[in-house]
Amino acid sequence: MKILVTGGMGYIGSVLVPLLLSKGFEVTVLDNAMYKQASLLGCCHSNLSLSIGDVRDHTLLKSLVKKNDIIVPLAAIVGMPACEMNRLLATEVNEDQISDIACMLSTDQLLILPNTNSQYGKSDTIVTENSPINPLSWYAQTKQNAEYTALAVDAVVFRLATVFGASPRMRTDLLVNDLVFKALNDKSIVVFQPNAKRNYIHVNDVCYGILHAINGKLKKGEVYNLGNDSINMSKLELVEYINKHIPVKIFIDKVTIDPDKRDYVVSSQKIYNTGFVTTFNLDYGITQLIKVFSMIKPHYQIGISNV
């Protein structure tokens, strides 16, 4: 089976691609290497083809889509801050790429879209796949639009929790990663909107979730929340959990308002009912991140964030 991964040199892709190769798939990666990363150097495999290019190049994208059985578009402008910096780029990559792929697909090809649960915005009740959508940022809006397009061609869609953990293309602008990084380097963490709840998932579990879909365990044309339900917690609870691993001073900021106003508890029971289980918990992730950040010297820290 042949799989195209756009953005395969990114944070999730750099973990997913080696996993797919280890399972015997032929993998093509399309990535523009915008962060000058070399995260697939360890994947010098005969089943890997790497194309350095832009998903906005319609001709290039079409030539690669038609050669593959499964398309996993990971290329995206990720997160509220990055999308606000360039709304046009965010729209072109997050929305238009998916529209282009949808138009290129044949009926015997499968689109698997790793999306975001940022679309839920804010909720006072436990969120399921049937809960109302309430995007509160341009990022969430572009991803919602992409999801509508994907479902129209019977894609499998994941609404991902906030991802954490180590990757060859590391990111510090994800909440768990950022807080562990600050705990190690600043020895203190300032928490604003401490009671806002989010859910989380380790990057390895995301990749195994995608593999679960590739192996035909999920229904086409369906949406699945993909998170670790044992890590539904507030920002303050998360900081206190990190404090068990790295003693830090915790300061509550009652004035600053987080521009990303998401606040929800999400259920991933639907995908659990298919036999999928999360394996990598928060303790594992924090321990892993401590080791990773201890290896990153200060002058290497440029380029490990999307903003």
Domains of the chain: 2-163+201-229 (3.40.50.720)
Residue 299 has pLDDT above 60, yes or no: no
Residue 304 has pLDDT above 80, yes or no: no
pLDDT value for 259: 72
Q: Under 8 Å CB-to-CB from 200, ≥6 apart: which residues?
A: 161, 162, 163, 164, 175, 176, 227, 228, 231, 233, 238, 282
| CA atoms of 211 and 70, how far apart (whole Å) | 11
DSSP H or E run through 27: strand 26-31
C-alpha 96, offset from chain centre: 18
Output the average pLDDT for the chain. Answer: 93
Q: Residue 191 burial (CB < 10 Å; 0-12/13-18/19+)? A: buried
pLDDT value for 203: 98
Residue 124 has pLDDT above 70, yes or no: yes
Nearest-Å Rg of the Cα atoms of the chain is: 19
Kindly state the average pLDDT of the residues 168-185. 93
Kindly state the average pLDDT of the residues 73-99. 95
Under 8 Å between Cβ of 227 and 201: yes
pLDDT value for 256: 80
**Distance (Å) of CA 107 to CA 104, 153, 220, 296:** 10, 9, 12, 46
Residue 172 has pLDDT above 60, yes or no: yes
The pTM assigned to this predicted structure is 0.94
